[in-house]
Structure 1
Amino acid sequence: MTSRENLTFKVRLSRRAEGYLRRTDRNTQKRIAAAIENMRQNPIRGLHIRPLEGRESEYRYYLGNLRIVYTVHPEERLIDITSIGPRGDIYK
């Protein structure tokens, strides 16, 4: 294991997020995979990352019309992705 791997976060997908990934097209899957890789490096700061108001340790990553909503557990170096979907549906 390299020292760079020690700095990245592990990612865990909820069933809801996994389901969305399975149903979406291959191009969108690749875009989401690239976004998740960016989040693994720094899940709290970034051009497309914003904290969710009123929710501690919860963030959203926006990717065009898609949103990835996740919780960060810094002590465990873990990102829990709770949902992935279109902007209009994600916060329901």
Structure 2
Amino acid sequence: MKYICSTKKGVGTMKIEYKKKAVKYINSCDKSTKRRLKDSIEKLPLGDVKKLTGYECEYRLRIGNLRVLFTFENDIITINEIRPRGKAYKRL
């Protein structure tokens, strides 16, 4: 299941899709963390973003102790997971 929202990127539009896991994590966070996540995700691809080694198009966004794992293809950002730093890379 994907949740979609749009945000402006320059003159064009960029879509942000949230996978169910990411939405579940966001809903479990407190209000200030939700706001921090929302603000940082809407500013993508800006921020502390790095490409994950060994993966074709997987990236991570660092927001304090949290890591947002996402893919970026054809002006569509798919937020796959949001995890604390210590657990973020264990699935990889």
Please, what TM-score do these two structures have when normalized by structure 2?
0.81
Contact 2:40 2:47 survives alignment (8 Å): no
Which residue of the partner structure matches residue 51 of structure 1?
51
Give aligned pairs, total. Answer: 83
Distance 1:30 1:70 in 2: 18
Long gaps (5+) in structure 2 = 1-7
Which residue of the partner structure matches residue 5 of structure 2?
none
Q: How does 1:1-92 map to 2 (within 5 A)?
A: 6-39=11-44, 43=45, 46-74=46-74, 77-92=75-90
Distance 2:27 2:37 in 1: 12
Computed over aligned residues only, the root mean square deviation of the Cα atoms, in angstroms, reads 1.8
As a proportion of its length, which structure holds more strand?
2
Tell me the alpha carbon deviations over residues 59-89 of structure 1, each in whole angstroms, 9 at most, x when there is no partner: 0000110000000112xx1001100021111
**In the superposition, relative to structure 1, how do residues 54 and 4 fare at CA in structure 2: closer, same or farther (>3 Å)?**
closer
Tell me the alpha carbon deviations over residues 13-40 of structure 1, each in whole angstroms, 9 at most, x when there is no partner: 111100000001000000000111110x
Runs of 4+ in 1 over 4 A off after TM superposition: 3-6
